[in-house]
């Protein structure tokens, strides 16, 4: 039989435990309340927008203009931080590993996909959440002005008859290089394509304009001056629809070749960032993207506004990852 003192002791312990549990619950609710309040007031601190490329490029210029506009739409200070190296993976990794509070945003897309698929970087799209897509960096196939080729089909036909096609690329493992490899594999002519890596779009196009290569696939905007100068011709654009910049140039699809290259420019945050914070970033940054001032900046750079919300952009990145992953796997390009 339990003694009176034993029962009393158990009652004291029970009351003490009840008090501890109640106190913990109160503290937990208070903590949740403070987090909710913090999210409700977001943003209150400076937002850092990480650009994984050097100052002066199209992404850097676009993001500097965006931050100027977004300081009003988001109601807080914003800064651009250039964190370069590793073909964009240094900046992408910095964003993925940052505190998931919404105050570090990255301007990145392919940097999270291709290096990982090639086996040269750990960071991937699974390490981030999409905030929005703000543009499409359209790609176009250019040939020398004096080229015998009048269409994409002409190039494919020549390759099928055994002619070697010298392809200037903006670098090995770039989106444009891999996309062209994928098209050539699909058409059964990849063995006839001789890929010549150059240091960026501009030098690849110079090689084509100078007759050192038969074709190149680069950003549409980069190629326009050489077309206007009479040094190159555009044979096909690689979007789902015709380019607003080169409206008279047919898409590859119109020419019977299933070749659409995904080339987004968008914003991401660390994967653990709360959904309500992502939603607020999407709203205030999206308002800046849709502004006339930002659209003018994009037009001046020959870029096309291609807005997608957070969910749409995440789905797009997943499709892009699958697209390049297939090409890299089938071409045997991944490093072990």
pLDDT in tens, 266-280: 999 999 999 999 999
Take residue 200 and report the two structure tokens written for it: 């960026």
- pLDDT reading at 9 higher than 70: no
pLDDT of residue 4 exceeding 80, the answer is no
Confidence tier at 12 by pLDDT (50, 70, 90): very low
pLDDT of 26 > 50? The answer is no
Q: How many CB atoms lie within 10 A of CB 268?
A: 30
pLDDT of residue 291: 96
* Region 232-236 average pLDDT: 98
What is the pLDDT of the chain when averaged over all its residues? 88
- 244-252 CB contacts, 8 Å cutoff, 24+ apart: 244/304, 245/138, 245/220, 245/221, 245/302, 245/304, 246/140, 246/220, 249/140, 252/141, 252/152, 252/183
For the ranges 24-28, 278-282, 293-297, the lowest mean pLDDT is seen at 24-28
The larger pLDDT score, comparing residue 23 to residue 98, is at 98
Whether the per-residue pLDDT at 31 is higher than 60: the answer is no
Name the range with the highest mean pLDDT among 29-38, 139-148, 294-303: 139-148
Considering only residues 142 and 202, tell me which one the structure prediction assigns the higher pLDDT: 142
> Could you tell me the domains of the chain?
47-137+263-331 (3.40.190.150), 139-237 (3.40.190.10)
Q: What pLDDT is recorded for position 101?
A: 98
Specify the pLDDT at position 39: 58
Question: What is the per-residue pLDDT for 23?
Answer: 44
- Of all helices (H) and strands (E), which one includes residue 299? helix 292-300
What is residue 40's predicted lDDT score, i.e. its pLDDT? 64
Taking phi over 0 as left and psi of -120 to 50 as alpha, with beta for the rest, 75 belongs to left
Could you please report the per-residue DSSP string of 220-286? HHHHHHHHHTTSEEEEEE-SSS--SSSTTSPBTTTTT-------EEEEEEETTS-HHHHHHHHHHHH
Residue 74: HSE in the Cβ half-sphere, 13 Å Cα cutoff? 30
146-182: buried (b, 16+ CB within 10 Å) or exposed (e) per residue? ebebebbbebbebbeeeeebbbbbbbebbbbbbbbbb
For residue 22, name the pLDDT band (cuts at 50, 70, 90). Answer: very low
Q: Count of CB atoms within 10 A of residue 64's CB?
A: 17
Give the pLDDT of residue 88: 86
Interacting residues of 221 by C-beta distance below 8 A, sequence separation 6+: 58, 137, 138, 245, 301, 302, 303
Smallest Cα–Cα separation from 245: which of 265, 222, 216, 262? 222
| Among the ranges given (26-30, 103-107, 220-224, 330-334), the one the predictor scored with the smallest mean pLDDT | 26-30
Given a cut of 60, whether residue 198 has pLDDT beyond it is yes
| Structure tokens given for 263 | 């080339």
Q: Is the peptide bond before 14 cis (omega within 30 degrees of 0)?
A: no
- 69-118 pLDDT, tens digit per residue, is 999 999 999 999 999 988 789 999 999 999 999 999 999 888 889 999 99
> What is the greatest pairwise CA distance in the chain?
107
Tokens of 207: 């090689």
| Phi, psi for 71 (deg, rounded to 5) | -60, -30
Return phi, psi of residue 253, to 5°: -60, -40
Q: What are residue 143's phi and psi, to 5 degrees?
A: -130, 165
Gap between the Cα atoms of 236 and 227, Å rounded: 13
- Spacing of C-alpha 301 from chain mean position: 17
Query: How many of the other CB atoms lie within 10 Å of CB of 253?
Result: 16
Tell me which residue of 284, 280, 268 sits closest to 316, measured CA to CA.
268
Lowest mean per-residue pLDDT among 23-32, 38-47, 84-93, 189-198: 23-32
């Amino acid at each position: 039989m339990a003694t009176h003192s034993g029962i009393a002791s158990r009652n004291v312990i029970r009351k003490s435990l009840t008090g501890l549990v109640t106190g913990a619950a109160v503290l937990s609710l208070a903590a949740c309340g403070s987090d909710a309040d913090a999210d409700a007031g977001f943003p209150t601190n400076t937002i850092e927008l990480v650009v994984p490329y050097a100052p002066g490029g199209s992404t850097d210029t676009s993001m500097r203009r965006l931050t100027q506009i977004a300081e009003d739409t988001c109601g807080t200070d914003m800064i651009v931080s250039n964190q370069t190296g590793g073909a964009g993976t240094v900046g992408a990794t910095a964003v993925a590993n940052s505190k998931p509070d919404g105050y570090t945003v990255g301007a990145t897309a392919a940097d999270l996909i291709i290096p990982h698929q090639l086996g040269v970087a750990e960071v991937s799209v699974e390490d981030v959440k999409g905030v929005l897509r703000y543009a499409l960096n359209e790609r176009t196939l250019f040939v020398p002005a004096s080229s015998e080729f009048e269409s994409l089909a002409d190039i494919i036909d020549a390759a099928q008859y055994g002619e070697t096609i010298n392809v200037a690329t903006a670098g090995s493992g770039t989106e444009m290089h891999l996309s062209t490899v994928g098209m050539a594999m699909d058409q059964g002519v990849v063995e006839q394509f001789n890929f010549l890596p150059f240091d960026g779009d501009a030098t690849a196009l110079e090689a084509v304009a100078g007759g050192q290569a038969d074709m190149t696939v680069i950003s549409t905007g980069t190629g326009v001056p050489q077309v206007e100068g009479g040094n190159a011709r555009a044979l096909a654009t690689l979007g789902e629809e015709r380019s607003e910049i080169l409206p008279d140039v047919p898409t590859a699809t119109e020419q019977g070749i299933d070749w659409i290259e995904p080339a987004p420019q968008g914003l991401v945050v660390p994967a653990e960032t709360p959904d309500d914070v992502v939603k607020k970033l999407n709203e205030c940054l999206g308002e800046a993207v849709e502004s006339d001032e930002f659209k003018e900046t994009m037009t001046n750079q020959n870029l096309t506004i291609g807005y997608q919300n957070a969910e749409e952009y995440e789905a797009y990145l997943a499709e892009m990852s699958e697209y390049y992953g297939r090409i890299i796997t089938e071409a045997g390009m991944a490093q072990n």
